[in-house]
Amino acid sequence: MVVYSLIFLILLIMKNLVVSGASKGIGRAIVEHFAKEGFNVSFCSRNSENLNALKERLQELYPKQVFLALVCDVSKPNEVRDFARKSLEEFGHIDLLVNNAGVFIPGSLSEMSSEDFKLIFDTNVQSAFELTKALVPSMIKQKAGYIFNMSSIAGLSAYPNGGAYNVSKHALTGYSKTLRNELKDYHIKVSTVYPGATLTDSWSGVDLPEERFMPAEDIAKIIFDIYQLSDRTVVEDIVLRPQLGDI
C-alpha cells in the first residue's frame, strides 16, 4: 500500500505530456526532447513497430520515467478518446498536450475525392478536437495546462497543390485561436505552431539538400522553451521557416 502511494505521489510531482502522431518526424522529436527533460510521455501513432521501438529506447535511456505508447488511428474518434482515457488513467493528470497528428494528400480541391477530403479533416482537425475535449476537463480542474496545436504555414496562406491540407490547417488555426479565448480564464495556455519545410519523411524523394530544411529537433526545442515561460506569458503564434525561405 505504501509503495502504491509513493508511486502515485511521484506521478503527481512529475510532468506529464501527451503527443499525437509521434512515432516519427516532428512528433518523435517532441517526445524525445521532453523525455530528455524529465517528462513522462504518452504518445500514439498507427505504426506499432515504430512506437514500440521508440518506447524501448526511451525506457532504456530514462528508466525512472513512464512512457505509454499506444496504437491509434487518429482519424477514428473512438480510438482518439480511448488514447486520451488510457493516458489519464496512467498519469492521473496532464500538464501538456501537443496535437501533432496530421496527414498530407496533394491535389486540388476540385479534383480531390470526398473520401480524401474527409480523411484529411478527420486526421488534421477532428483528432485535435477529440483529444483536447477528452483531456481539457482535467486541466480545467487543476487550473493549469498547456496545449500546442501543430498547424503549418499552410494554415496562414494556401500553397499550390495543397488542396484540403490547406483548408484543414486554416481550420485548425481557427480552432486553436478559439480555444485560446475559451481557456485563458482557466489558466490554460494555447499556442499554435506554424512550421515551414521540416526534414521529415513527408519530404522523402525530394531532390533538395538537407540544409534546405529545418531539423525537426528545432520545432521540439522551441515548444519546450515556450512551455518554460512564466505563467503570466503565452506565445499565441509560433511561425518557423527555413532560413532560405519556403520551398
**74-83 confidence digits (pLDDT tens):** 999 999 999 9
User: Looking at residue 209, what is its pLDDT?
Assistant: 81
Closest CA to 236 of 197, 208, 194: 194
Q: Say if 246 falls within a structural domain.
A: no
CATH number of the domain enclosing 134: 3.40.50.720
Q: Would you state the cell numbers that stand for residue 162, as one nine-digit string?
A: 495543397
CA 198/CA 196 separation, integer angstroms: 6
The mean pLDDT of 16-23, rounded to a whole number, is 95
Q: How many domains does the chain have?
A: 1
Give the number of other Cβ atoms within 10 Å of residue 17's Cβ: 26
Q: Say if 151 falls within a structural domain.
A: yes
CA 44/CA 87 separation, integer angstroms: 10
The mean pLDDT of 137-154, rounded to a whole number, is 97
Residues in the chain: 247
Question: What's the predicted TM-score (pTM) here?
Answer: 0.92
Which amino acid, 53? A
Q: Which domain holds residue 45?
A: 7-202+222-240
Q: Say if 197 falls within a structural domain.
A: yes
46, 103 Cβ separation under 8 angstroms: no
